[in-house]
Amino acid sequence: MRLQVFCEDRLGITRELLDILASRQIDLRGIEIDRVGIIYLNCPEVAFDQFSQLMSQIRQLDGVTDVRKIQFMPTEREHKELKALLEALPDPFFSINLQGKIDLANDAAETLLGKARSEIVGEYIQTFVGFNIQNWLEKEQAAKRSELVVIAGLDYIMEILPVYVADESDEQVLASVVILLKSLSEAKMPLAMRKLSGDNGFEHLVGQSSRFKQLVSQAKKLAMLDAPLLIQGETGSGKEMLARACHQRSLRREQPFLLVNCISMPDSAAETELFGMAATATEAGKKGIFEQADGGTVFLYEVGEMSEHLQIKLLRFLQDGTFRRVGEEQEMRVNVRVICSTQKKLPDLVAANQFREDLYYRLNVLSLVVPPLRERTADIVPLADLFLSQFAQELQQPKPVISPEVAQFLSQYAWPGNIRQLRNVLFRAMTQLESTQMTVDDIQLPENESATVISEETLDGSLDDIMKRYESGILTSLYQSYPSTRKLAKRLGVSHTAVANKLREYGINKR
């Protein structure tokens, strides 16, 4: 029971209250004294008769004006109110002690980390968000700060707030640290990514298939080099995001990352956009993309669409880093890394005299090939989960649960539009959703779209050749995600012996 005793400010009254409790053998669990003349007592519950006698005895004390039973001690009430307020926050919240361990986390933090409260409280905060409290105390002397972090593929502004309390001499003493994570909208993502540290760039890329892991491992190595990089892959497969990640991991990450869309840029204005224009009597000079990106990276999107005239200009620039503004004779030099992407096969364009062979070899110093989504089916559900988390933030609605039927349905579709198509399909489904669980009926996919992934090259040869090639492709793709004959046999619903024979026939191994 908790008691609230109203009394005069008299010397010894607290001692007399404690004597009453001791005489009745009532244990004292806590006491709080208010400066305005209120004493709070926290004791175990007692029988009704003993409680009535206790209240009467306290009221008879000299200076006591009233005594009441209350539900909470003042500090208990404040703690519960504060905890309820923090639980209601829509943003993930952590309270950290000075040893760097988590003392408190709200529901939003649980949801973000995908862990129960018992798995979060008591763990070091550095495990989850990479914040080292000791370095912060030493280098920044516990000053308020903000930084950008990526958690589970999503961007957050991490607000780090020191909590000071007054000691007995009214000196402000650091007691704990509060961390609040505020999500960034997708519209701010390009700006945010330019400010992220080099290691964080690749955290935006989500996947668990062996093809994906191999791509990321290779990309991290090539990102640190300064030579031109060619990224090849189908439309919507994530070439631009991979280019941004490479820039973020490079030594150029603090400098600009500028994108040039070679498809939409008209040839008449393209040279001016890339290389700038000289000043005239009536107009000031204009900086081109390469000049603006000095020290950084220029990403040429769909370089296979570039005109022959621009190909010559680009080739000369790649040779020594020099160029002239349009209408200007003076050369200037910049230090820029060029990353290109293409969904076309440049060797075929070279053979057809549509792309310069010497430029192709200049661009293809380092290369990455982004596999289509249908060749890394193990990444489809993690990507879907990431997109639904993003949409839930943008639309301010609960994140829906992906049922096993939906996961299987998404994994079996060919996705000719790759990641972009998956994202758009899920966004459409999210806007139409009326429950907390997404079903197959909520997802609208063109029934005949899978036929578009069959190319003329695929149909070359006899029917037997086509079927063998198709069967070999299916087994090769699935073997990446089901790396044993027994798992693959179970996935395909056939015998272990049949799968083993087919793998041996087509020369397919885990590599």
Domain of 176, CATH number, reads 3.30.450.20
Could you tell me if 232 and 280 lie in one domain?
Answer: yes
Q: Are residues 260 and 346 in the same domain?
A: yes
Task: Supply 209's token pair.
Answer: 């298939």
The pLDDT tens digits for 325-346 are: 888 888 889 999 999 999 988 9
pLDDT for 192 beyond 80: no
- Once rounded to an integer, what is the mean pLDDT over residues 50-68? 89
Amino acid 171: pLDDT? 81
Asked whether residue 470 is assigned to any structural domain, the reply reads yes
Number of domains in the chain: 5
Q: Same domain for 291 and 355?
A: yes
Mean pLDDT, range 227-242, rounded to an integer: 92
pLDDT for 185: 54
User: Does 176 have pLDDT greater than 90?
Assistant: no
Looking at the fold, whether 357 and 442 belong to one and the same domain comes out as no
Best-predicted range by mean pLDDT among 108-112, 300-304, 394-398?
A: 300-304
Question: Does residue 334 form part of some domain?
Answer: yes
pLDDT computed for residue 460 by the predictor: 59
Reading the block at residue 390, the tokens are: 């993003």
- Regarding whether 484 and 458 lie in a shared domain, the answer is yes
Query: Residue 27 sits in a domain of what CATH number?
Result: 3.30.70.260
What pLDDT is recorded for position 292?
93
Residue with tokens 């892959």: 233
Whether residue 240 lies inside any domain: the answer is: yes
185-194 mean pLDDT: 43
Q: Taking the CA of residue 508 as centre, how many other CA atoms within 13 Å lie in the half-sphere pointing to its CB?
A: 24
Q: Are residues 339 and 261 in the same domain?
A: yes
Q: Identify whether residues 218 and 356 lie together within a single domain.
A: yes
Residues 6+ apart with CB under 8 A from 92: 105, 106, 108, 109, 111, 112, 113, 156, 180, 181
Q: With 80 as the cut, is the pLDDT of residue 50 above it?
A: yes
pLDDT at position 189: 43
Does the pLDDT value for residue 188 go beyond 50? no
Distance of CA 20 to the CA centre of its chain: 60
50-58 long-range CB contacts below 8 Å, 24 or more apart?
50/24, 51/1, 53/24, 54/20, 54/24, 54/26, 57/20, 58/3, 58/5, 58/17, 58/20
Residue, of 243 and 467, whose pLDDT is higher: 243
pLDDT at residue 198 in the model? 39
Q: Which residue has 């020594």 as its token pair?
A: 320
Instruction: Output the average pLDDT for the chain.
Output: 83
In whole angstroms, give the CA distance from residue 142 to residue 175: 11
CATH of the domain at 437: 1.10.8.60
Residue 13 has pLDDT above 80, yes or no: yes
Is residue 83 in a domain?
A: no
**Closest C-alpha to 469, from 457, 479, 481, 453:** 457
How high is the pLDDT of residue 461?
A: 67
Which residue, 244, 221, 242, is CA-closest to 233?
A: 242
- CA 190-194-199 angle, to 5 degrees, is 115
The CATH number of the domain holding residue 341 is 3.40.50.300
- Supply 347's token pair: 């060797």
pLDDT at 327: 84
Cα angle at 38 between 32 and 39, to 5 degrees? Answer: 40
User: Which structural domain range is residue 412 located in?
Assistant: 373-452
Kindly state the average pLDDT of the residues 310-326: 88
Of 309, 344, 370, the last residue of a domain is: 370
| Report for 130-144, 387-401, 468-482: range of highest mean pLDDT | 387-401
pLDDT at 283: 78
The answer to whether position 103 is within a domain reads: yes
For residue 81, pLDDT over 90 is answered with: no
Four-residue CA torsion sign, 469, 474, 479, 480: positive
pLDDT for res 341: 94
What pLDDT digit, counting tens, does each position of 444-480 carry?
887 534 433 444 444 556 787 778 777 877 887 677 6
Q: Among 344, 370, 396, where does a domain finish?
A: 370
> What per-residue confidence (pLDDT) applies to 350?
92
- For residue 478, the domain's CATH number is 1.10.10.60
User: Is the pLDDT at 174 greater than 70, yes or no?
Assistant: yes
| pLDDT at res. 195 | 43
Residues 215 and 249 occupy one common structural domain: yes
Predicted local distance difference test score (pLDDT) of residue 447: 55
For residue 439, with 0-12 CB atoms within 10 Å meaning exposed, 13-18 middle and 19 or more buried, which class applies? middle
The position carrying tokens 């505020």 is: 182
Q: What percent of the chain has pLDDT over 70?
A: 92
Confidence tier at 368 by pLDDT (50, 70, 90): very high
Of the chain, the percentage scoring pLDDT greater than 90 comes to 19
Q: Are residues 212 and 105 in the same domain?
A: no
**Those residues with Cβ within 8 angstroms of residue 188's Cβ, 6 or more apart along the chain or in another chain:** 155
- The residue out of 370, 389, 407 marking a domain boundary is 370
Residue 481 has a pLDDT of 65
Q: What is the pLDDT of residue 196?
A: 42
**Range name among 200-214, 229-243, 245-259, 457-471 with the lowest pLDDT average:** 457-471
Distance CA 57, CA 481 (A): 77
Q: Is the pLDDT of residue 293 over 80?
A: yes
398: left (phi over 0), alpha (psi -120 to 50) or beta: beta
What is the distance of C-alpha 89 from the center of its chain? Answer: 20
- In this structure, are 326 and 220 located in the same domain? yes
Residue 5: which of 74, 82, 76 has the closest Cα? 74
Q: Tell me if 193 is assigned to some domain.
A: no
Task: For residue 333, tell me if it sits in a domain.
Answer: yes
The reported pLDDT for the residue numbered 453 is 42
Q: How far apart are CA 110 and CA 316, in angstroms?
A: 55
Q: Mean per-residue pLDDT for 428-456?
A: 70
Provide the residue count of the chain.
Answer: 511
CA gap 502, 111 in Å, rounded: 44
Kindly state the average pLDDT of the residues 418-435.
89
- What confidence category does residue 511 fall into, taking pLDDT thresholds of 50, 70 and 90? very low
The token pair at 258 is 């500028």
275 and 356 in one domain? Answer: yes
Half-sphere exposure of 435 (CA within 13 A, CB side): 9
The whole-angstrom separation of Cα 470 and Cα 23 is: 91
SS3 label, residue 353:
coil
* Neighbour-count burial for 345-384, b at 16+ CB within 10 Å, e otherwise: ebeebbeeeebbeebbebbeebebebbbbbbbbbbbbbbb
331 shares its domain with 229? yes
Residue 189 lies in a domain: no
Pick the closest to residue 415 from 405, 425, 400, 428 (CA basis). Answer: 425
pLDDT reported for residue 297 = 95
